[in-house]
């Protein structure tokens, strides 16, 4: 070490220490003040959240149907969406349980709790081509057919309006009768074998009874 004239060895050493601190001490101090990134923060930045997978139409429909009071026939062996898809297929049939598809919806399905809400949602999702059938059922503008039973003549539910009706098919032992309001037989017919049978129910009739004749449909 080169000694500064007039300065002792101890003083020179102290001066050297001060000079060295002045060269590097500033940066070291600033670096010490900077907080170091924690491993947790780095891991959080690097971790990307998985995108949320949207529910399928089937899942949405199942949740909606399960939260309603509606129950599909056959739902016990599958999901509500599976049952609704089956209903969509049925609505494409020409006849359901002796009724027109719209009549079947109106008299068998729309009468259930939340029927209109659930069926409307299902048709919109899975078979929009059946929307007209559902609308006719809701509006009551469907054609009514009549199977086995005794019907009071008139307008309204469970009644048969006056008019001409026809049934077709491989008819065996088909019987019908028209009776007065007091129950007297006005006219009747028994066909042991026929392909088509026709009857006119009159406004003054009291009841119309049919057995084993299939579906009576209005003649337009």
Mean pLDDT of 86-105: 95
| Contact indicator for 111, 69 with CB cutoff of 8 Å | no
What is the pLDDT, as a whole number, of residue 74? 72
User: Who has greater pLDDT, 8 or 93?
Assistant: 93
User: In 3D, which of 199, 203, 210 has the Cα closest to residue 164?
Assistant: 199
Give me the percent of the chain exceeding a pLDDT of 90.
Answer: 70
Range 190-201 average pLDDT: 97
Task: Write down the pLDDT at residue 158.
Answer: 87
Per-residue pLDDT reduced to its tens digit, 119-165: 999 999 999 999 999 999 999 999 999 999 999 999 988 899 999 99
Average pLDDT of the segment spanning 4-22? 40
Mean pLDDT for the stretch of residues 109-118: 96
Query: Is the pLDDT assigned to residue 25 strictly greater than 90?
Result: no
Nearest partner of 160 among 77, 217, 112, 96, judged by Cα: 217
pLDDT tens by residue, 29-77: 455 455 555 555 445 555 567 778 889 999 999 999 999 999 998 777 6
User: Could you tell me the pTM of the whole model?
Assistant: 0.70
For 101, the enclosing helix (H) or strand (E) is helix 101-104
**CA separation (Å) from 80 to 92, 107, 110, 139?**
19, 20, 16, 25
- What pLDDT is attached to residue 104? 96
Answer whether residue 178 shows pLDDT above 70: yes
């Amino acid at each position: 070490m080169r000694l500064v004239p007039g300065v002792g060895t101890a003083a020179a050493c102290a001066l050297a220490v001060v000079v060295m601190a002045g060269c590097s001490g500033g940066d070291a101090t600033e670096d010490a003040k900077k907080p170091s990134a924690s491993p947790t923060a780095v891991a959080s930045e690097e971790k990307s959240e998985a995108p949320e997978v949207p529910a399928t139409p089937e899942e949405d429909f199942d949740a909606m149907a399960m939260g309603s009071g509606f129950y599909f026939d056959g739902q016990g062996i599958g999901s509500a969406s599976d049952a609704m898809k089956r209903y969509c297929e049925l609505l494409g049939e020409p006849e359901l349980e002796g009724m027109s598809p719209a009549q079947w919806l109106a008299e068998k399905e729309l009468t259930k709790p939340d029927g209109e809400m659930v069926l409307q949602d299902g048709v919109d999702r899975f078979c929009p081509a059946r929307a007209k059938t559902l609308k006719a059922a809701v509006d009551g503008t469907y054609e009514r057919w009549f199977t086995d039973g005794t019907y009071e003549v008139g307008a309204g539910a469970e009644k048969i309006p006056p008019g001409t009706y026809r049934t077709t098919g491989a008819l065996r032992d088909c019987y019908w009768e028209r009776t007065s309001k007091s129950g007297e037989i006005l006219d009747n017919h028994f066909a042991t074998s026929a392909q088509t049978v026709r009857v006119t129910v009159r406004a003054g009739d009291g009841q119309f009874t049919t057995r084993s004749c299939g579906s009576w449909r209005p003649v337009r």
